[in-house]
Structure 1
Amino acid sequence: MDLLEEYRRATMFFESGDPGGAARLLEPIVAAEPENASVRQLLARAYFASAQLVRAEEQLRALLEIDPSDHYAHHVLGRTLERQGRPEEALGSLRIAAAMRPDNDDYRAALRRVEARTGGRPR
């Protein structure tokens, strides 16, 4: 299997609106290259976009083990936890992402939304 070609195909599937198809292509690539953050991030996004939220959470936590300073992984983990109905758990990740990128409107909006829902209290 040509991993780079499969990654390109998966990207094409994702960008064309088929995150489930992208995930199926990415799973064996992540298995072959578990430390490849780019592939793992796209897999996490594909899972998130296809509402496979437990799987998205697993990939995002693995990404943060590889690189705890990945602001985007913190943001998407927070959004994933929020979508799972776990807003108190989401606060920590959303706060980290917003602190790392205070100029990012999406990060600040997600944080404000979850803070309003929880009264700003983390779990």
Structure 2
Amino acid sequence: MDLLEEYRRATFFFESGDPLGAAKLLEPIVEAEPHNTAVRQLLARAYFNSAQLTKAEEQLRTLVEHDPSDHYAHHVLGRTLERGGRFREALPHLRLAAAMNQQADYQEALHRAEQWLGKPENA
């Protein structure tokens, strides 16, 4: 199997709106290259986009453990937990992402979680 070609195919599937197809292509690549962050991140996003939240969470926790300064992994992990209704667990990851990188979508996700939990914005 040509891993690079499979990754390109998976990216095409993902960008074409087929996260399930992308995940099926990415799973063996992550197995073969467990330290490849880009592949694991795309797999996590494919799981998230196909509502496979437990699988997305597993991949994202691995990314955060490997690189605690990965603001995007924290953000998507927070969003995954938020999407599963686990706002209290999501909040620390969303706060870290928002503190590390001042992107509008990070701030919006943090605000949503805080609102859901009834926490004041400046607490």
The two structures have a TM-score, normalised by structure 2, of 0.96
Please give the per-residue CA displacement for 1:10-41, whole angstroms capped at 9, x wherever unaligned.
00000000000000000000000000000000
Equivalent in the alignment of 1:31: 31
1:44-123 correspondence runs (5 A): 44-102=44-102, 104-120=103-119
Amino acid at match of 1:47: Y
1:1-20 correspondence runs (5 A): 1-20=1-20
Count of paired positions: 120
Amino acid at match of 1:87: F
CA RMSD of aligned residues (A): 1.0
Task: Compute the displacement of 1:119 (Å).
Answer: 1.9
Please give the per-residue CA displacement for 1:63-90, whole angstroms capped at 9, x wherever unaligned.
1111111100000000000111100110
Long gaps (5+) in structure 2 = none
How many angstroms apart in 2 are the aligned matches of 1:30 and 1:120? 38
Q: Which runs of 4+ in 1 moved over 6 A?
A: none
SS in 2 for 1:68: coil
Equivalent in the alignment of 1:42: 42
How many angstroms apart in 2 are the aligned matches of 1:40 and 1:63? 8
How many angstroms apart in 2 are the aligned matches of 1:98 and 1:5? 34
How many angstroms apart in 1 are the aligned matches of 2:35 and 2:60? 12
